[in-house]
Amino acid sequence: MPRACLIPIILAIAALPAGAALMVAPEYLHLTGAAIPLTFWGGIGLTVLLILSAAGLALKGEAQSRHEPLRMAMADSSFWLAIGAAIIAALMAIWGNKKAAIVVALIACLAVIFDFVDRRWLTHPEPLETSLSSENARLDAIKWQPIINDQKQYFTNIFLGNNGKSTVRQWGFSGTAAHGVADPDLIDALFIVFKTKMRAAKPSMSEINPGQSDTFISIPNVAPLLQLDDTLITNYRNGAVAIYTFLLLRYKDDTLQAGKFIYGEKCIYVVKDIVHFCDNGHNRNYISVD
């Protein structure tokens, strides 16, 4: 049985006996006075907390299946239970009711133990980046067309195609071009800047369906374009200078959870109008949490 189903069941089953055990604690610990109402209402509170935790974990699984974000982890509930029980135990000790303080302190210890176990073995942080599945959309650059216009400005027309199984939605892009030998650290920094710009930019509301390949963009796509001179153009034609184009695509599809986007990093360099792909780790597609 999946852990996501097993844990809520265990919590729901344990709720009533755990609460009942705390409610009758005065009998087997021989507690008197303020300890009796404290353990009684504490048992009810523990039962309610465990049932609510079980319901929360069950809803968590349902929310994930509906691509909704998680609001609160089980470890967070046990953390706050431990804090609350520790405060009550301290107050009981101050008031001189040592037996009640011991009971509440034990509850705090159990909550701390569960918090540790949950964070260490039960809760696994989701990686920041994951690979695309066969069901995702995949927006690829299917053709690169380098151009030098009459004003000696360089840009690249890039034809895009959706080679995935889902429709591309809320898509956008950012990029630039440069000549010379590109520094790897500079390229890494460029893609960080592109990602920051894309998060702030308004995405396109147009859609690109699976198999559709009639969309094209240009990089650079705003003035000023990459301005060349006669010497640079001659060196480019002779193969002495390479011109780099960097592109970052960002989009969603129908399979993604809320807060996640697909990123496509593209890097090419052109020599004598021949396109080469960069060997620097920036030709890849991945899913990332924003």
Q: In a 10 Å sphere around its CB, with 0-12 CB exposed, 13-18 middle and 19+ buried, how is residue 100 labelled?
A: buried
Last residue of a domain, one of 125, 152, 183: 125
Q: Please report the pLDDT score of residue 225 as a whole number.
A: 87
pLDDT at 181 over 80: no
Tell me: do 185 and 79 sit in the same domain. Answer: no
pLDDT at 288 over 60: yes
pLDDT confidence of 1, banded at 50, 70, 90?
very low
Beta bridge partners of 208: 168
Domain that holds residue 71: 3-125
Please state the rounded mean pLDDT for residues 23-36: 64
Please state the rounded mean pLDDT for residues 100-126: 66
d(CA 32, CA 24): 12
Please state the rounded mean pLDDT for residues 195-211: 93
Q: Please report the pLDDT score of residue 84 as a whole number.
A: 63
Beta bridge partners of 121: none
Q: For residue 117, what are its two tokens?
A: 């176990």
Please state the rounded mean pLDDT for residues 217-242: 92
Q: Which of 83-97, 105-119, 246-260 has the highest mean pLDDT?
A: 246-260
| pTM of this structure | 0.61
Q: Please report the pLDDT score of residue 48 as a whole number.
A: 63
Q: What percent of the chain has pLDDT over 70?
A: 57
Tell me: do 109 and 231 sit in the same domain. Answer: no
Residues 6+ apart with CB under 8 A from 116: none
DSSP state of 120: I
d(CA 86, CA 108): 6
Tell me which of 209 and 4 has the higher pLDDT.
209
Please state the rounded mean pLDDT for residues 225-253: 94
Please state the rounded mean pLDDT for residues 59-74: 49
Tell me: do 13 and 82 sit in the same domain. Answer: yes
Indicate whether 153 belongs to any domain. Answer: yes
Of 214, 126, 113, nearest to 168 (Cα)? 214
Task: Look at the chain and report how many structural domains it folds into.
Answer: 2
pLDDT at 2 over 50: no
Residues 6+ apart with CB under 8 A from 39: 22, 23, 24, 25, 26, 31, 100, 103
Please state the rounded mean pLDDT for residues 53-66: 55
Indicate whether 71 belongs to any domain. Answer: yes
d(CA 118, CA 112): 10
pLDDT confidence of 178, banded at 50, 70, 90?
very high
pLDDT at 123 over 70: no
pLDDT confidence of 149, banded at 50, 70, 90?
very high
Tell me: do 102 and 150 sit in the same domain. Answer: no
d(CA 131, CA 190): 22
Cis geometry, peptide bond prior to residue 125 (ω within 30 degrees of 0):
no
Please state the rounded mean pLDDT for residues 24-53: 64
Last residue of a domain, one of 90, 125, 160: 125
